[in-house]
Amino acid sequence: MASTQVETVSTGADKARLAVAGLLVVAALAGFYLLAGQGAAAQWGALAGGLVLAAVVFFTSESGRRLVAFGRDAWREVKKVVWPTRKETLQTTAFVFAFAVVMAIFLWGTDKTLEWVFYDLILGWRR
């Protein structure tokens, strides 16, 4: 029987950082609404400042570092993708549109044939 290891290395300090980041987001939102009488600059300044502080605290946590590492890995993988040329893209798009038109005509023909069979031949409801 194989044992699977789940890596959960979340320290108390890391959890505290995440909690502080969450509280900073809440404080930024509260500051935005509480400073409504002070003008738009104060409101948006409080919101932006609080969110920036929350982001800084979050990215110092283990979860934040993992998110940054994931982003770097994802960007590295995107660079490896071989993107289609303009000609290939246009040909594929034309094929998709042509297929959609052919399928629409087929479904319309099937619908009209079944309508004719049921209403005219079987039920005799001539229009």
Domain boundaries along the sequence of the chain: 8-81, 83-127
Enumerate residue ranges in the chain where pLDDT < 50: none
User: What pTM value is reported for the model?
Assistant: 0.57
Q: What is the pLDDT of residue 124?
A: 78
Residue-wise pLDDT for 15-41, tens only, equals 999 999 999 999 999 999 999 899 999
Taking the alpha carbons at both ends of the chain, their separation in whole angstroms is 72
Phi-psi region of 114 (alpha: psi -120 to 50; beta: other; left: phi over 0): alpha
* Residue 110 tokens, joined: 């099937």
Q: What angle do CA 58, 59, 64 make, to 5 degrees?
A: 90
